[in-house]
Amino acid sequence: MERNRKIPRSAQRPTAKPAALELPADRAFVVQLDARAQPPRRVVGRVEHVTSGQVARIASLQELLLFMGKVLRDQVRGEP
């Protein structure tokens, strides 16, 4: 026996459309993790900024974030 369940109007909200992401290439990075990495606890590997080619070896999540932040700040300032 099927039942028709009435959904209260308060629960019948239209789903909001997610905002479109802007993903410019100058903000793209490639992260290559060592086989022994166990993120987020152990992040070991290298990171490369796609458009500038800057590369760094990383041994922690903090080092990864510091590198990315520095590259993006330098980019805003117009530094290589």
Give residue-wise pLDDT tens across range 45-63. 999 999 999 999 999 999 9
- Give the H or E element holding residue 21: none
Q: Please give the radius of gyration of the chain, using alpha carbons only, rounded to the nearest integer.
A: 22
Span 68-80, average pLDDT:
89
| pLDDT number for residue 16 | 74
pTM above 0.75, yes or no: no
Residue 22: pLDDT band (50, 70, 90) is very high
